[in-house]
């Protein structure tokens, strides 16, 4: 046995950690790193959420004095930055990616455990300048989370354009490096360390989605890194990559000449759009796994699911112009970007219909995780359909920078990705900590979130069509928006529901860690490889040899089998039925 393990190609070398520090702080273990990522990003979610509550209070009751005009712009900029770069991306890619990839493909750890540890700690380092920017003169950046020049390029342009903007750039640069480390690891691990029998067409969709998201990150983040470098040079070295000639700031002619601020938008959105899919693909994968499990049916159209994710990945690089319809681009170019954008609706619809077909006539078990999975489909659809409106240049020119856009992207990527995170936490919590989560509190969390999210973001479509601008500090400035005061109050109350739901979730996490009932090794009767490990899995994941894989990831309710699921590691002889995957 010992020699068999040693000869196994993925037997890997690092020792069992001994001290507390090497076990839980500077750990090389992918499971610990995944949990570290999750906890850190949930902490950041609390900060981003608190900012959102302040923003909403200001918008419902503009005279409440929660925020001033300057700090309002800083709050929305930081809310966006934190939620996208420091919550959704690290929780999904860093958290679930780290925890699940080796467990699901049958590897004892990542290909490069040291770089993996480095990735997490670089992420932590990137948070420090970001949070520090709250406490510098002028406050954090206030030109929006996209940091468009010239507001972001000239020090005196806005209160946050000074040190706050510098710290933001530093923070994002470090974050991008951290993400690069992670992507390199995932890619290599999935290509190299799959256990015997785990072919690409047997990979669970979660792994596929993380694989594609890693490729997207690897190829799109460097472009914005270059863009940020140019911005930095414009700020500190007096170059004119972005700052145009003839610009007056405070009555003074700016010294720069001949730059083009639109260049930044091109570089930014070349990353920005794939980033949307980096965030939404992993939830798509995870939800596919949980839906199949809780409906006790194979995922409908497995290969179509993979191909549509690949198509989404490729198309995501060709649509960045749809963020820039109002920049005066040639109508032909706008039409081309619109056509590409609308083409994304096809693979997205394939996925949505496949999820619904998976539920069709399933023996559905409404666990909290399943509720969040179904909620994911609902939110993704409600948000995605308005993407068809915004993808059309002609409509977008009217709706650009209104609350219609805010409603759209919050539902389709913010809320949907959030539901993906919750689905994952409720589903894999037993594997992470060996205890089940409290289902009752989970249901309260779900309903508060679902009603709260719809109550918050659906009325925003109406606000947007009514003409409410997305970066407006107080509706009292414009008479026609004053009439929408009531809608704003409804939205704010709904937003508080989401936040309260989040607090219930936080309490549930802490309660379940200490009081949750002990979990069996495979509490959901699931087919994928992570459930063949002891709960929680030890260092190295499997005791003894890693089980070989004999079948696809979705063998639920196979006719003739004695159970309604056949795990991937069960041999054909033991399963008693022959299946074709």
Partner 1 sequence: MSKAVRDTRRAPSAPPPRRPSARDDNGRPQRGEPQASLTITAWAIVGSITMLFFGLVSAYSGRRGGMDWGAVAAPPALWVGTAAILGSSVSLEAARRALARGAQRSFVAQLLGVAALGIAFLAAQISAWRALADAGVFLASSPHSSYLYLFTGVHGAHLAGGLIALGVVLSQGRQGAYDARHRGGVDAFAIYWHFLGVLWLTLFAVLFAF
Q: How far is the CB of 539 from partner 1 (least distance, A)?
A: 9
Q: Indicate which single residue of 57, 146, 225, 401 sits in contact with partner 1 (rule: CB under 8 A).
A: 225
Q: Does 253 bind partner 1 (CB under 8 A)?
A: no
* Comparison of 136 and 233: residue with beta carbon closer to partner 1: 233
Q: Does 267 bind partner 1 (CB under 8 A)?
A: yes
Tokens for 128, please give them.
């420090």
Mark the segment that binds partner 1 (CB under 8 A) among 65-73, 90-98, 220-228, 441-449.
Answer: 220-228
Q: Which of 356, 306, 57, 120 is nearest to 202 (CA)?
A: 306
Q: Does 318 bind partner 1 (CB under 8 A)?
A: no
Q: Does 371 bind partner 1 (CB under 8 A)?
A: no
Please enumerate, as own/partner, the contacts of 365-369 that have beta carbons within 8 Å and a separation of 24 or more: 365/294, 365/296, 366/294, 367/294, 367/426, 367/439, 367/442, 367/524, 368/426, 368/437, 368/439, 368/442, 368/443, 368/445, 368/446, 369/290, 369/294, 369/422, 369/423, 369/424, 369/426, 369/427
Residues 6+ apart with CB under 8 A from 196: 106, 548, 549
Q: Indicate which single residue of 534, 571, 574, 578 sits in contact with partner 1 (rule: CB under 8 A).
A: 534
Q: Does 219 bind partner 1 (CB under 8 A)?
A: yes
Q: How far is the CB of 219 from partner 1 (least distance, A)?
A: 5
Q: Does 229 bind partner 1 (CB under 8 A)?
A: yes
Q: Does 330 bind partner 1 (CB under 8 A)?
A: no
Structural contact between residues 423 and 287, judged by C-beta atoms closer than 8 angstroms: yes
Number of residues that bind partner 1 (CB under 8 A): 54
Q: Indicate which single residue of 50, 125, 218, 462 sits in contact with partner 1 (rule: CB under 8 A).
A: 218
Mark the segment that binds partner 1 (CB under 8 A) among 280-288, 296-304, 475-483, 539-547.
Answer: 539-547
Q: Does 208 bind partner 1 (CB under 8 A)?
A: no
What residue spans of 82-204 are helical by DSSP H?
89, 98-105, 113-132, 163-192
Q: Indicate which single residue of 42, 55, 203, 223 sits in contact with partner 1 (rule: CB under 8 A).
A: 223
Q: How far is the CB of 261 from partner 1 (least distance, A)?
A: 12
Q: Which of 51, 34, 42 is nearest to 506 (CA)?
A: 42
Structural contact between residues 169 and 197, judged by C-beta atoms closer than 8 angstroms: no
**Cα(169)–Cα(152) distance, integer angstroms:** 10
Q: Does 333 bind partner 1 (CB under 8 A)?
A: no
Peptide bond just before 568 cis, omega within 30 deg: no
Q: Indicate which single residue of 192, 199, 482, 518 sits in contact with partner 1 (rule: CB under 8 A).
A: 192
Q: How far is the CB of 115 from partner 1 (least distance, A)?
A: 9
Structural contact between residues 49 and 43, judged by C-beta atoms closer than 8 angstroms: no
**Cα(144)–Cα(406) distance, integer angstroms:** 13
3-class SS at 565? strand
Q: Does 146 bind partner 1 (CB under 8 A)?
A: no
CA 437 to chain centre: 22
Q: Indicate which single residue of 75, 111, 295, 570 sits in contact with partner 1 (rule: CB under 8 A).
A: 111
Contacts with partner 1, residue ranges (CB under 8 A): 1-2, 5-16, 111-112, 180, 183-184, 187-188, 191-193, 218-227, 229-230, 233, 237-241, 257-258, 260, 263, 266-267, 270, 534, 538, 540, 543-544
């Amino acid at each position: 046995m010992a020699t068999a393990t040693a000869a196994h190609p993925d037997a890997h070398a690092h020792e069992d950690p001994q001290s507390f520090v090497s076990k839980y702080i500077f750990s090389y273990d992918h499971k610990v790193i995944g949990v570290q990522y999750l906890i850190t990003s949930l902490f950041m979610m609390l900060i981003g959420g608190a900012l959102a509550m302040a923003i909403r209070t200001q918008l419902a009751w503009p005279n409440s004095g929660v925020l001033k005009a300057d700090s309002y712009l800083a709050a929305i900029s930081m809310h966006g930055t934190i939620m996208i770069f420091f919550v959704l991306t690290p929780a999904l890619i860093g958290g679930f990616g780290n925890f699940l990839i080796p467990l699901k493909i049958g590897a004892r750890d990542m290909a490069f455990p040291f770089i993996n540890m480095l990735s997490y700690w670089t992420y932590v380092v990137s948070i420090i300048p970001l949070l520090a920017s709250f406490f510098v003169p002028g406050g954090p950046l206030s030109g929006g989370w996209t940091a468009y020049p010239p507001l972001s390029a000239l020090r005196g342009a806005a209160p946050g354009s000074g040190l706050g903007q510098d710290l933001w750039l530093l923070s994002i640069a470090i974050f991008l490096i951290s993400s690069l480390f992670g992507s390199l690891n995932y890619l290599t691990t999935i290509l190299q360390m799959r256990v015997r029998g785990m072919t690409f067409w047997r990979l669970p969709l979660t792994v596929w989605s993380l694989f594609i998201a890693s490729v997207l990150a690897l190829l799109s983040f460097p472009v914005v890194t270059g863009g940020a470098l140019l911005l930095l040079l414009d700020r500190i070295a007096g170059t004119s990559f972005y700052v145009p000639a003839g610009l007056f700031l405070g009555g003074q002619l700016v010294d720069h000449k001949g730059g083009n601020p639109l260049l930044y938008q091109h570089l930014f959105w070349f990353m920005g759009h794939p980033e949307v899919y980096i965030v939404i693909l992993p939830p798509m994968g995870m939800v596919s796994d949980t839906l199949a499990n809780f409906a006790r049916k194979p995922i409908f159209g497995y290969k179509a699911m993979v191909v549509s994710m690949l198509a989404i990945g490729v198309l995501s690089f060709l649509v960045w112009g749809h963020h820039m319809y109002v920049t005066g681009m040639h109508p032909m170019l706008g039409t081309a970007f619109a056509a590409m954008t609308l083409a994304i609706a096809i693979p997205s619809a394939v996925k949505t219909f496949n999820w619904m077909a998976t539920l069709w006539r399933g023996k559905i078990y409404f666990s909290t995780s399943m509720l969040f999975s179904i909620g994911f489909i609902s939110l993704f659809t409600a948000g995605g359909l308005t993407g068809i409106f915004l993808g059309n240049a002609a409509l977008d020119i009217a709706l650009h920078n209104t609350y219609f856009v805010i409603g759209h992207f919050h539902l389709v990527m913010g809320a949907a990705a959030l539901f993906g995170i919750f689905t994952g936490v409720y589903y894999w919590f037993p594997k992470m900590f060996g205890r089940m989560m409290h289902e009752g509190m989970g249901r309260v969390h779900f309903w508060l979130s679902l009603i709260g999210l719809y109550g918050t973001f659906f009325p925003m479509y109406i606000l947007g069509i009514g003409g409410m601008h997305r970066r407006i500090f107080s509706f009292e400035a414009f008479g026609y928006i004053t009439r929408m005061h009531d809608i704003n109050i409804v939205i704010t109350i709904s937003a508080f529901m989401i936040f309260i739901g989040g607090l219930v979730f936080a309490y549930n996490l802490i309660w379940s860690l200490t009081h949750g009932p002990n979990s069996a090794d495979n509490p959901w009767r699931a087919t994928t490889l992570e459930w063949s490990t002891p709960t929680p899995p030890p260092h190295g994941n499997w005791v003894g040899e890693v089980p070989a894989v004999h079948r696809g990831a979705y063998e639920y309710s196979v006719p003739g089998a004695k159970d309604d699921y056949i795990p991937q590691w069960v041999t054909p002889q033991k399963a008693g039925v022959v299946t074709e995957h």
